[in-house]
Amino acid sequence: MAEVFDRLRATFRSGRTRSVKWRADQLRGIERMVIDHEAKLLQAMADDFGKPRFEAWMTDLMPVAVEAAHARKHLARWMRARWTWPGKANIPGRSWTMPEPLGTVLIIAPWNYPVQLALSPLVAAVAAGNTAVLKPSELAPATSAALARLVPQYLDPRGVTVVEGAVDVSTELLELPFDHLFFTGSTTVGKVVMAAAARHLSSVTLELGGKSPVIVARDADIEIAARRIAWGKLLNAGQTCIAPDYVLVERPVADRLVDSVTSAMASLEGSDPHLTRTRIVNQRHLGRLESLLKESGGQVATGGTVDHDERWIEPTVVVDPDRSSALMRDEIFGPILPVVVVDSLDEAIGFVNERDKPLALYLFTGSRATERQIIEETSSGGVCVNHVVMHFLVPELPFGGVGPSGTGAYHGLAGFEELSHRKPILRRGVRPDLSVVYPPFTEAKERLLRRIL
């Protein structure tokens, strides 16, 4: 690991990665890789956890190609200097900021979207002119192996290296003095990464998770809300950091929402679950979900069946679970949807604010006043009104968490800036060089400077 790091740091220090051409070439390489080898990558994800073909393309491959193309299109503009007013004290003079790459970046990717959450951070890293080590998840071994084979074919191997392995490899990498650590995963492991970064005073981007709530107001379009919530919850079998984790619904429309979500889940499943269901990643995670369901204390409105052979859990709705249960404390990361009935929007807001700040917050309403109230009175990494998950796909919207759901943001310009240092520069003229600013100071000099500045 140390040899890999030293090689990449030497490449960075050589200046090889700073040109627009090198950066654009890497971005074009990422885009071409996911297009040219679509079939191989889709098969790898199917081998790892049965991810349906279209869903894998839509959630893993297409977003990477869009992100890389967007960055390449805007790269020259992002790299320009930004002029600023130098202030009265520095006239004559000019001031500006210039983005410069951070250095050598470590990207630790998760298993749930094993292509997208590996390559989208890499887009930001190379667009900003950094060298990078990419560590795919060992829990998606086929995809990890595919990336290890393909990345050297499309990207500069002197600037980007894929390192495979398990926790021991990640631990060894975290001992090295990377200039920036980019981690996507659980809050628990995020704390470990931040502690490792602190040893070297490295900057970090932590894309974590948490319980992303859905608030359904009484004036929402219930049928559309139910279909979109069900879609977001069943996407990747709920194994999504911004999946709708639980629903807070106003009492007058609660029964109708539960019935509509139940119908929507059945419709989205289709007649053959093998064509639509992603598997739970492993038996340990399946067992955890089964325990959450057994101890929820709520009424199961639909679903609840667990198939250990297929590593499936039937799409499940739990109405009014025990609010202190693990189902309502822990991030679910599976196709189980708790629905909590509330008497008012104020109660829903209080419920959200009593808990850790989520990575995403979803709201369904027909009222702009309600929209303003929820946005102003809650805090979350991002907000999506009248849909779920889709804000992730907007290239120019920063994506990231706040507090326990993460720190830092990426996508588009935000990713470029996250992986850059915006260096401030001042150029002063040598004339005039007024003696009034130099000691010894007198009352007359002080009066003059106070009037000028």
Instruction: Cite the active site residues.
Output: 207, 241
Name the burial class of residue 112, with classes exposed (0-12), middle (13-18) and buried (19+) by CB atoms within 10 angstroms of its CB: buried
Strand partners, 207: 184, 406
Name the burial class of residue 43, with classes exposed (0-12), middle (13-18) and buried (19+) by CB atoms within 10 angstroms of its CB: middle
Query: Rounded to an integer, what distance in angstroms lies between the CA atom of residue 122 and that of residue 145?
Result: 17
Collect all residues with Cβ–Cβ distance below 8 Å to 308 and sequence separation of at least 6: 283, 286
415, 124 contact by CB (below 8 A): yes
Q: Report DSSP state, residue 439.
A: S
Other CB atoms within a 10 A radius of the CB of residue 116 amount to: 21
What are the DSSP E strand ranges found in 28-85? 82-84
Q: What are phi and psi of 397, to 5 degrees?
A: -95, 120
343, 250 contact by CB (below 8 A): yes
Strand partners, 215: 248, 363
Q: What are phi and psi of 265, to 5 degrees?
A: -60, -45
59, 236 contact by CB (below 8 A): yes
350, 369 contact by CB (below 8 A): no
Nearest CA among 315, 316, 241 for reference residue 278 = 315
Query: Rounded to an integer, what distance in angstroms lies between the CA atom of residue 237 and that of residue 390?
Result: 17
Nearest CA among 194, 162, 199 for reference residue 181 = 194
Tokens of 163: 């390192």
84, 97 contact by CB (below 8 A): yes
SS3 13: helix
Collect all residues with Cβ–Cβ distance below 8 Å to 403 and sequence separation of at least 6: 356, 357, 379
